[in-house]
Chain A
């Protein structure tokens, strides 16, 4: 796993599309919402449906209770007459789709692959759907979706209640400020920094110190990303974000929050070792993190960036993670702004690609982006990372 891999051929992201993200999409059905993202991705890439060879689709069946939804969704995905694959892995689904699209192009099996992540959470019961991931014989009666207060409690124990709560809320406010710059964001509340303590205290608790305001949104939405082979990128004179590498780290079925290194840290260690990254904060220019809550986002900064002690708190306290900061995190507003679960991790890849391609518009970070990192989260603390770059990677065998 830590051995250096030689990619058969390079793969670039040349088009990104997102539907409107909202909790109310009564005006479109599922394939129509998917089509919004697909049409935008094709337009962004400057190609047409005829140029696409293969469509990779993913979401979670129980959120909408549609079996093998890529069948019905072919009405909006463009897959008819083309190759198709469906992969799903939970919250990481979007990132798995990106890895799959990268594999399918790099393998030579397809030149142009369209990855589509999707969820229409308004059509089902999100927390109930997530609770269904627990074993029916032992955890399902207890599980409350993806809600847990254990990270909040651990951070309070480690850093003291006031500092931990303020840092979590500061991160939440920064994400809200970013979301205000992103036209696609589902929600931006206009949270004000001067009310940091009141915002925490006045928000209803969900589980322990995890409060409503800390939690990600519940969104309908689709994301489409187009991956292409080098000769197509040249032929179309496209503006690519190159896929450098990716790493998937799952964890056992039973959730135990302690006792091992985090999957995030392990994924980073492996990915960074393969790609010569010794100082991620220096060598990476922007990070799109799958941050399901302010507490997890805060805690995971330390894990993904291989930090120790309270460095991650300082990054937040000193505004380093802001769009103007030295290490911008989620200039899109992240998952607390928009969370159509099966699309969410693919949105992280799309947003990282937009930053690398310099096409993020109002939420483009104001510095050169040579390398961007994107993360996906799901399952029982599963982690997937993808590294994107402005310059074409060297060393592909073809």
Chain B
């Protein structure tokens, strides 16, 4: 076994060549990094426009208002990954297992806490660290914990509301973008007074979708019976 492997493994010449190449690439990137910047970033402009953005947290303002289009496409990436995983086949099953009592005990505390923590992150995201993606991930983590500590390992989400739940985040994002367009405003140009509320609406829907998508990605395939 060993000898056959040895014959097909990349040889020392290849490794040395690769190491030299990587050294050259890293050195080149480092040189560009150390050069004096020509112009400062847009931090100042973010600060100046923060009042109109509907969020006090700079990062949330960038993510959901100034560069909200990036975030919209990013949700599309997440959704398309799930569609791709579902297209690959039905979820593989894990063999039934007996989880440790410690895990079960911890879960009985952690899983009920997760929605609370999620709601906090979502609400805090406007002014303090937090936001839709973190909140959605926490919710998904709770689902994953439930999934692996359950005696029946399959995450039996009822399949009928699953699809609407998966698309609602992106759907609300796009619909809000169109909805604000009256009165000469552009796509996703939130009116100053409404921006805070609209961002919270988008984030809430996104949180739900992100949680469902991440949990479904963990399941690793489409539920039995889904087309």
Indicate whether A and B interact: no
**Chain B residues at the A interface, C-beta cutoff of 8 Å:** none
